[in-house]
Structure 1
Amino acid sequence: MVSSYAQIDPKDNIIVAIQGLAKGTEIEVGGESLVLKEDIKQKHKFALFDLAVNDEIFMYGVLIGKATKHIQSGCAITIENVKHASSDYKDSKEKYTWRAPDISNFKGRTFSGYHRNDGKVGTANHWLVIPLVFCENRNIDVIEAALSEKLGYQTKKDFAVDTDALIQKYKAGASADEIFNTPIITSKEEMAKNRVFPNVDGIKFLKHDGGCGGIRQDSETLCRLLAGYISNPNVAGATILSLGCQNAQIELLQNAIKTIAPSCNKPVYYLEQQQSKSERSLIEKAVKHTFIGLTEANKIIRQPAPLSKLVLGLECGGSDGFSGISANPALGYASDLLVALGGSPVLSEFPELNGVEQDIINRCNTTQDAKKFYDIMRAYSAAAVAVGSGFENNPSPGNIKDGLITDAMKSAGAAKKGGTSPVVEVLDYTEQVTKPGLNLLCTPGNDVESTTGLVGSGCNVVVFTTGLGTPTGNPVAPVLKMSSNTALFERMKDIIDINAGTVISGEDTIETMGEKILDHVIRVASGETASKAVLHGNNDFIPWKRGVSL
């Protein structure tokens, strides 16, 4: 895009400012001309025609709001003159046809991954240490302190501090100057070179605040989520710590693993504190079991795998007025490429599909999935209303400040991540991806809760689009951050992996950017390139308790 403004769809009666536009600027769109009556900020929108109170407002070709005041052509669209509105939808689907993109540039490509006995392939090789209840979080901290740095794994910083070197100098009688001049900082890169288990990418500690209290269903859902993490192809095995009396019982987790992954035969060690002779004994056994598990996990090496083994999470957060124009549709094209190659992209964040439900329903392969999506969306919306909220309250202050003023506007852009391919299956939270093609997964719009859910349902890599910037990562799957605009990429290169702002500047098309995304995903999946979230140790993990979270 090289113009200073754009009409995204011919049906749209609002125009987006690609650059900041000054009052008095003459605009021509589709044979219509107007003069701006006020300054329009970059990423924000202005009216193409005069709009009366209750007139419908369209962007991306869908209803995104209604005017609450008279709006003259050339005036800004704001939260002061527009309210959320979205199209209704029905559970019956219409015929849908799809034309797959050209995949010639990826034909025969493979990635180098970790093959599991159940046929899945991981993009990483991790060992998990998991508490079944928050009471065990302190013990998890002790185990992490005992293992991570000693085995050469990253700390919460970009480096490790070797205090032992100072102690040894002191005991040897070194002077203050000698102690002060002793090197004690080790970079993550140096730590990685010195790993005891070079084929294990990390030991991940999934602390949480659940497992007891609340309602029993919360603990059941937590166990299904944890079972999904254990069976994720990026995981080699796990050590589980239980207190003993909590709602999330060991048997509940074991049954969840059998249900969602009956062919999963990974080593899982279960330890219960109330059956242990002491806390010291519990921790000793946990450390030894984990160490032995790591020796086995280290025997697994990367081998070539077809791109059909990629399960790609499609996520967005900190969205802006460009997200639905550059990053999201480019990711959608990459999603379509992966579908055509036999892979499985997964679109989540159901509150951010508000207003495009009928399009999603029409794309479902079966009437059963169309009905399931319809029912989940109706129930989710009703639950939000029941507590005095609603989907219209989804946009954050940051979204609004950067031009996303209604949920339907935000949703219409967010849905672009799912491309145009048919929906092969609709999954509720913690249900597993089993079919190649585009899957839908019910999660909240909250960034970390949604990413946590995507990986818990089987995603082995995630692409996360953002217009405002976010450090979000995941303990198990690499999360690649992609900026919607170049200014963000230049400002936050330390946490952003890919820049889709080149679509806005005209250097890339949606199609060329989509191919670049998939190529980057392949390199990360092969371990050739590390995502910024992995490099910085962003291991965000927040289970959804199924309360209303927008």
Structure 2
Amino acid sequence: MILRVHPADDLIVALQDLSAGQIVHLEGRTWTLPEAIPAKHKFASQDFPSGHLATMYGVTVGRATQAIPAGGLIRTGNLQHHAAPCTGKQADLLWTPPDVSRWQGRTFQGFRRAHGPAGTANHWLVIPLVFCENRNVAFMREALTRALGYAQTSAYERYAQELVQAHQCGRLAENTGLPLEALPVPTPLFSNISGIKFLEHGLGCGGTRQDAIALCRLLAGYIAHPNVAGATVLSLGCQHAQVSLLEAELSRLYPQHSKPLLIFEQQKWASEQAMLTEAIRATFHGIAQAHEQGGRTTCPISDLILGVECGGSDGFSGISANPVIGHTADLLAALGGAPVLSEFPELSGVEQNLCDRCLSPELADRFLDLMRRYEDAARACGSGFDANPSPGNIRDGLITDAMKSAGAAKKGGTAPIVDVLDYGEPIRRHGGLTLYCTPGNDVESTTALAGGGCTLMLFSTGLGTPTGNPICPTLKVATHTALMQRMADILDFDTGAVITGTQSVASMGESLLDLCLATASGDYVPQAIRLGQDDFLPWKRGVSL
């Protein structure tokens, strides 16, 4: 009915709706609630004077702006964001890895690469260097996807066709309740190629040179990604994001890159038609050659790079889905893999714990420097990390950014932090957690995680989020069973048993790792892939000029 997450907490979580006047018990204490407490929300365990620092997950998550009685509901009107200060690495981490004997010797069926870790998929990319080329990218998508057998007719398209037929027959079509299932996908011409992905975006010109470099760095990460067989790049020619910038970032960050890379610059061609017909022809032959390289083969678990993400978070996220994901991350780290935690605005308030987990003071200092520079930039725009929680977050119990962050950080488990990276940098170190600087925006963050090299993603949600990535399989993890039942068409894994107490975080984390391995092998297809959720949104850090 109610839960204290950490022994030091003075905020108590309602696991179900509680009514005004209801008497609740926990750990030998009794409260008569002065007001209703909705499920996922918190109440004060004692009388809070104004200025009291509230604690949850064992850390400071807010400051009372007025007196709150014991049992009183915590809301935005009586608690504001406040986080404890951080002074860099102050303690050494003593980590006991979880037992991974069950997975020793286990492998997955992936795509081996000449250099670096194996992929969990094998895509061909078509990428514009500037938004001016989005139209041409769309032409290539229209020309290639159905012809090569990667397109499917959706139930929505079938329904629209029924509406047209009814209209042509002079009758008004009714909602017949057609099942919204896609028709079977045609057999691809090139079975060893997972698909062709088209990464449209709105950047490449009109911004700062720094944004152009950041975009080229991100696109270089996608081109060199373990899940990518080759790429076609369309450039206009006059934009900030020059071909030479892309080639420089590829050479600097991925010096061993040797995959096919086809580049077409429109202003060097006699006509748009001439360029596109050659781009389509060369891309077709590039895909055919990549197909001949072969399909899935046995790969070690230690090759996996696992991005952990949350979106549409609720008051259960830090109690069920995020700790479950965190345990999966710890299992993978103990097996030599590379879990990656991003969303720096959602780490505000837990900096000290993360600094103490860093392998060296230098890593901790780099983390703090990235955090402080990021928040300074937000404050320069008249905002700050405290503005991170969305209306949906707040409505479902995440009242302050520190409260949201303390639960969000649970996705990163407890393993040592072996690296701290800025946006666009390649993920290299395995056997521990990497901190990766991205926004809290779901799609900007998942886009960056894939650009850094993540070959699989776990995405927790308490409200339901239809998000995926073009090249990185993304598993959606529900925080409670009611959500899983309501939105089963977009979700993959239910951690509601943690809320009901019928399963432990550890047991569910183990099951989730098994699902990760099935996904990495192509044996399980995430809902995001079934639904074609190919979300791609580069981070624009500068201003438009």
Report the TM-score, using the length of structure 1 for normalisation. 0.93
Per-residue CA deviations over 1:488-508 (Å, capped at 9, x if unaligned) read 000000000000111111221
| 1:236 Cα deviation after fit | 0.2
Q: Aligned match of 2:189 in 186, 196, 200?
A: 196
Q: Aligned match of 1:60 in 57, 61, 64?
A: 57
Q: Percent identity?
A: 52
1:351 aligns with 2:345: yes
Asked if the contact 2:154–2:183 (Cα under 8 Å) also holds between the matched residues in 1, the reply is no
1:540 aligns with 2:535: yes
1:130 aligns with 2:135: no
Q: Aligned match of 1:274 in 253, 267, 271?
A: 267
Query: 1:390-539 alignment to 2 at 5 Å?
Result: 390-436=384-430, 437-539=432-534
Per-residue CA deviations over 1:375-403 (Å, capped at 9, x if unaligned) read 01111111111111111100000000000
**CA separation in 2, counterparts of 1:303 and 1:195?**
19
**CA separation in 1, counterparts of 2:153 and 2:317?**
30
**CA separation in 1, counterparts of 2:285 and 2:157?**
24
Asked if the contact 1:148–1:155 (Cα under 8 Å) also holds between the matched residues in 2, the reply is no
Q: Which amino acid in 2 is paired with 1:494? A: D
SS in 2 for 1:122: coil
**CA separation in 2, counterparts of 1:351 and 1:515?**
29
**CA separation in 2, counterparts of 1:156 and 1:34?**
57
1:36 aligns with 2:29: no
SS in 2 for 1:312: strand
- Structure 2 equivalent of residue 182 of structure 1: none
1:100 aligns with 2:100: no
**CA separation in 2, counterparts of 1:354 and 1:402?**
19
Q: Which amino acid in 2 is paired with 1:523? A: A
**CA separation in 2, counterparts of 1:473 and 1:408?**
26
**CA separation in 2, counterparts of 1:91 and 1:340?**
25
SS in 2 for 1:190: coil
C-alpha change, 1:481 and 1:250, in structure 2 (3 Å) is: same
- Structure 1 equivalent of residue 303 of structure 2: 309
Asked if the contact 2:117–2:304 (Cα under 8 Å) also holds between the matched residues in 1, the reply is no
Asked if the contact 1:236–1:266 (Cα under 8 Å) also holds between the matched residues in 2, the reply is yes
Per-residue CA deviations over 1:325-348 (Å, capped at 9, x if unaligned) read 000000000000000000000000
Q: Aligned match of 1:149 in 133, 146, 150?
A: 146
Deviating 4+ runs (over 4 angstroms): 158-161, 186-189
Q: Which amino acid in 1 is paired with 2:477? A: M
- Structure 1 equivalent of residue 373 of structure 2: 379
**CA separation in 1, counterparts of 2:203 and 2:106?**
42
1:232 aligns with 2:229: no
1:119 aligns with 2:116: yes
SS in 2 for 1:115: coil
Asked if the contact 1:98–1:420 (Cα under 8 Å) also holds between the matched residues in 2, the reply is yes
**CA separation in 1, counterparts of 2:124 and 2:116?**
19
Asked if the contact 2:478–2:496 (Cα under 8 Å) also holds between the matched residues in 1, the reply is yes
Q: Aligned match of 2:358 in 332, 340, 364?
A: 364
Asked if the contact 2:155–2:183 (Cα under 8 Å) also holds between the matched residues in 1, the reply is no
Q: Aligned match of 2:288 in 271, 295, 300?
A: 295
**CA separation in 1, counterparts of 2:465 and 2:229?**
29
Per-residue CA deviations over 1:269-290 (Å, capped at 9, x if unaligned) read 0111111111001100110111
**CA separation in 1, counterparts of 2:3 and 2:325?**
20
Per-residue CA deviations over 1:44-76 (Å, capped at 9, x if unaligned) read 001110000001100001000011111110111
Report the TM-score, using the length of structure 2 for normalisation. 0.94
Per-residue CA deviations over 1:406-430 (Å, capped at 9, x if unaligned) read 0000000000000000000000000
**CA separation in 1, counterparts of 2:151 and 2:398?**
37
**CA separation in 1, counterparts of 2:12 and 2:336?**
37
SS in 1 for 2:299: strand
C-alpha change, 1:125 and 1:160, in structure 2 (3 Å) is: farther
Q: Which amino acid in 1 is paired with 2:512? A: I
Asked if the contact 2:320–2:505 (Cα under 8 Å) also holds between the matched residues in 1, the reply is yes
In structure 1, list runs of 5 or more residues that go unmatched.
164-175, 177-185
Asked if the contact 1:6–1:18 (Cα under 8 Å) also holds between the matched residues in 2, the reply is yes
**CA separation in 1, counterparts of 2:102 and 2:156?**
39
Per-residue CA deviations over 1:288-316 (Å, capped at 9, x if unaligned) read 11101111221221001111010000000
Per-residue CA deviations over 1:80-116 (Å, capped at 9, x if unaligned) read 1111110010123321110100112211111100001
Query: 1:245-256 alignment to 2 at 5 Å?
Result: 245-256=238-249
Q: Aligned match of 1:337 in 325, 331, 340?
A: 331
1:208 aligns with 2:201: yes
Asked if the contact 2:34–2:72 (Cα under 8 Å) also holds between the matched residues in 1, the reply is yes
Per-residue CA deviations over 1:245-277 (Å, capped at 9, x if unaligned) read 111111111111111111110000011111111
Q: Aligned match of 1:20 in 17, 21, 36?
A: 17
What do you get for the CA RMSD once the two structures are aligned?
1.7
Matched residue pairs, number?
Answer: 523
Deviates more, 1:254-263 or 1:24-33: 24-33
1:77 aligns with 2:74: yes
1:324 aligns with 2:318: yes
Deviates more, 1:351-360 or 1:20-29: 20-29
| 1:435 Cα deviation after fit | 0.6
C-alpha change, 1:215 and 1:66, in structure 2 (3 Å) is: same
**CA separation in 2, counterparts of 1:70 and 1:368?**
41
SS in 2 for 1:66: strand
Asked if the contact 2:152–2:184 (Cα under 8 Å) also holds between the matched residues in 1, the reply is no
Q: Which amino acid in 2 is paired with 1:484? A: T
SS in 2 for 1:37: coil
Asked if the contact 1:157–1:537 (Cα under 8 Å) also holds between the matched residues in 2, the reply is no
Asked if the contact 2:2–2:26 (Cα under 8 Å) also holds between the matched residues in 1, the reply is no
